[in-house]
Amino acid sequence: MTTTGKMGKFALKAFLACGLTVLATAYANHDASARTLKWTSFSSAKHPSHAAANIPFQKEVEEKSGGSLKVDFFLNGSLGKAADQLQIIESGVADIGVIIPNYTKGRFPLAELAELPFAFDSAEEATAAFQGILKDYIEKEFTSVKLLSLGVTAPLQVMTTKQPIKKVEDLDGLRLRGSDGARVLEKFGASIVLISSADTYLALDRSTLDGTTVPLGSMFNYKLEEVIKYANMLNLYEVALPLVMNLDTWNGLSPEEQKIVSAAAQNFAHNTALSQDNSTNEGRAKATKAGVEIIDMTAETRKKLQEAAKPFWDQTIAGLNEKGLPGDQILKQLIAARDAYRSSH
């Protein structure tokens, strides 16, 4: 081979090598520019809200950001238990996720208003109502994390293993798993116990509990239909589902990325509410098929329960006032937003 030929071959190899280096560098830079948001959750991929709300959030953020943001899910409590979700996000172990306010009692008293007994009839109604106080009040109590949106569960019902609840007197002597929103039932002789969702099945199976409070559709996530005989539809209370982000993560996003995440978060809250209510509606048929009897609350029972709940509402307002918050005004705005939703639907 001539010297010229060798030089031409060498030049071609050098050109190809240089091109591959440039492509590799560009690919590496593209990868490096994409930020991955670690989403922590104590629920599984089988939970209805994962497909209905989590996945759409992921797709919206990734598509609208043009790939500069990615969302990876860490499910089944792989990063920590339900009670630890706030700390996991605050510490930066995860970037984003839903927390349960009643696991950090007193930290978020306004978000805990979802637990007012007999205040709401659906997740959509409650989620819409909370938009009425979100900007003015709730956002201000989330100082250690960025509040992105606030959804609410479907109303919790009282599930019992042996005793149907057809009148308030049937509550006497029952040991029920629940949080503060269920304490109104203590007025009728029930005892309220706070244990984790994961431990509830065993407690019911061993009869250390007589029942639990859970949205009808969520009963199947924990296989409670295997031990529950009666689904007593009391629309007892709800649980807030704040979607929050680590502050450093939020501040590290560009203004455009923040807008994208914020918009997706609002859709997430709406989709969560829809999923919760759909799950309740579908849960009736599933429960009946599983041998669980559905018992709807009579007007008389509803009236007695609502009357019993009045002191709890008064205590809640007084508690907010003690914290320097305008409890009466906040509750007035919340109920006004709820009633506005009811009148338009």
CB contact set of 36 (below 8 Å; sequence gap of 6+): 69, 70, 71, 72
- Please state the rounded mean pLDDT for residues 289-308: 95
Give residue 189's pLDDT. 97
Quick one: average pLDDT of 303-327?
A: 95
Judge whether residue 12 has pLDDT over 60.
no
pLDDT at res. 342: 96
Whether residue 145 has pLDDT greater than 50 = yes
d(C-alpha 63, C-alpha 192), whole Å: 46
Report pLDDT for 30: 42
Model pTM? 0.86
pLDDT for residue 4 is more than 50: no
What is the CATH architecture of 35-344?
Answer: 3-Layer(aba) Sandwich (3.40)
pLDDT confidence tier of residue 221, bands split at 50, 70 and 90: confident
> How do residues 227-254 score in pLDDT, each as one tens digit?
999 999 999 999 999 999 999 999 999 9
Is pLDDT larger for residue 207 or for residue 222?
Answer: 207
Residue 29 is predicted with a pLDDT of 42
pLDDT digits (tens, 9 = 90+) for 170-216: 999 999 999 989 999 999 999 999 888 889 999 999 999 999 999 99
The reported pLDDT for the residue numbered 32 is: 55
Domain map (residue ranges) of the chain: 35-344
Mean of per-residue pLDDT scores for the chain: 91
What pLDDT digit, counting tens, does each position of 15-64 carry?
Answer: 444 444 444 443 444 445 789 999 999 999 988 899 999 999 999 999 99
Q: Which of 288, 284, 295, 283 shows the shortest CA–CA distance to 165? A: 295
